[in-house]
Structure 1
Amino acid sequence: MRHTRHGWMVCFLLLLSGVSPASAQSVTDRLGVPGPVSFQGTEFALAWTSNPSPSYFKQEYVPAGEQVEHFNQMFMIEAETSASPETAAAAQVDMLNKRKGSDPVVNYDLIRNDATDEIILDFVLSDSSTGTTIVEWNAYRYAPLNKSGGVALHAISRRGYGDQARDFLIGLKEKRSPAINALASFKTPKLQPNP
């Protein structure tokens, strides 16, 4: 789990880079998507960016009044020029499988669109290491970055904290499918990685 500046689950590339999100403090648009990003009727403003390696770019967006350190919902956009949707999704699934021994909430589903070479990974996980239970649901949409290769990630992350964690999980039954459908049909902006 990520215990630094933002949500827990990072596309596998941040883990491979060994770079902590806290090491990048700039909020400079690095993908040509300065925001706001509109998703399911909510406006998400650019709040955090990172370029932890020459081929990897990450941006996080939160609604007004929320912080990346403690958010209720976050939209993420990432680009990795040296990976593919398949390898990125497989690495994230591997990470989730490794968590299963220590996190009883971990569960995931993979949805493939062979026509577009896109994959949506829908997953939930939890953490109580800080003394407060946090439950996080994510939907990651992996797509080809461009004709030359690479992967673009567009994702929604939502959390429930403490006493609200159980209600959050129960509420996922109604909210999960509409969010996945919205992510699948989300008009993705063309990403222009720029260190």
Structure 2
Amino acid sequence: MRPIQTITGAAAIAVMTLMPSAAQSDLLGVPGPISFQGEDYALAWTSQPSENYVKQEYVPAGQQVETYQDMILVEAVIGALTPMDAAASQIQSLEARKGVDPVLNYDLMRNDATGEVLLDFLVSDLEADPVIVEWNAYRYQALGDGEGVALVAISRRGYGEDGATSFMTGLGAMRSEAINALANLSFPAVSIAP
């Protein structure tokens, strides 16, 4: 299961079938490492599925994007899109999973003073071998010029039945601490290179 993280939800999922970039070039001006909750995350994967959309994934030392347990995502999309639009699109893709994902759950928080939106959600792939349970928190912010949206996100996973059970047992405390840390993280200054 490739992470369902995408800044524009279902609309962008169709273009996310690209292979990982061999050179891992920083396309957003955020080369890393990104420090989060006492751990450094290094740039591990980049993709530019379209001229106006870039996605980068960062993992701690020893982890791979294909089998990560902890990941930071930084994305940017240029266009007529607000943070709430991006979150609503992601919610639409989550709603489409309702009949097939028994652990699906999400919560949306909006900061009216800044216009930022934070969406956290839990998904699973119980048909995968091993089973995967994934929790994500996406923090959306308008790009500096107001022409698009930037995203910084945390994604965490548990694998296999024992790993998924352990992950779900510790989710409450982990979720609260990670959301707090994400909300207080200095938002990376992102820009899509021409």
Q: What's the TM-score once normalised by structure 1's chain length?
A: 0.92
Say how many residue pairs are matched.
190
Partner of 1:69: 66
Judged with a 3 Å threshold, the aligned counterparts in structure 2 of structure 1 residues 23 and 46 are, in CA distance, closer, same or farther, namely: closer
Deviation at 1:139, TM superposition (A): 0.2
Moved more, 24-33 or 73-82: 24-33
CA deviation digits over 1:14-73, x for unaligned, max 9? Answer: 325x24131644400000010000001010000000111011011000000000000000
Matching residue within 40, 44, 67 for 1:43: 40
Question: SS in structure 1 opposite 2:143?
Answer: strand
Judged with a 3 Å threshold, the aligned counterparts in structure 2 of structure 1 residues 77 and 25 are, in CA distance, closer, same or farther, namely: same
Runs of 4+ in 1 over 4 A off after TM superposition: none
**Where in structure 2 are there 5+ consecutive unaligned residues?**
none
Partner of 2:191: 192
Q: Matched residues, percent identical?
A: 52
Separation in 2, partners of 1:58, 1:68 = 13
| One-letter amino acid matched to 2:175 | R
Matching residue within 10, 17, 22 for 2:6: 10
Partner of 1:152: 150
RMSD between aligned alpha carbons? 1.4
**Where in structure 1 are there 5+ consecutive unaligned residues?**
none
Judged with a 3 Å threshold, the aligned counterparts in structure 2 of structure 1 residues 127 and 141 are, in CA distance, closer, same or farther, namely: same
Q: What's the TM-score once normalised by structure 2's chain length?
A: 0.93
CA deviation digits over 1:73-123, x for unaligned, max 9? Answer: 000000001122111100100111110100000000000001100000010
Partner of 1:108: 106
Contact 1:26 1:50 in 2 (8 A): no
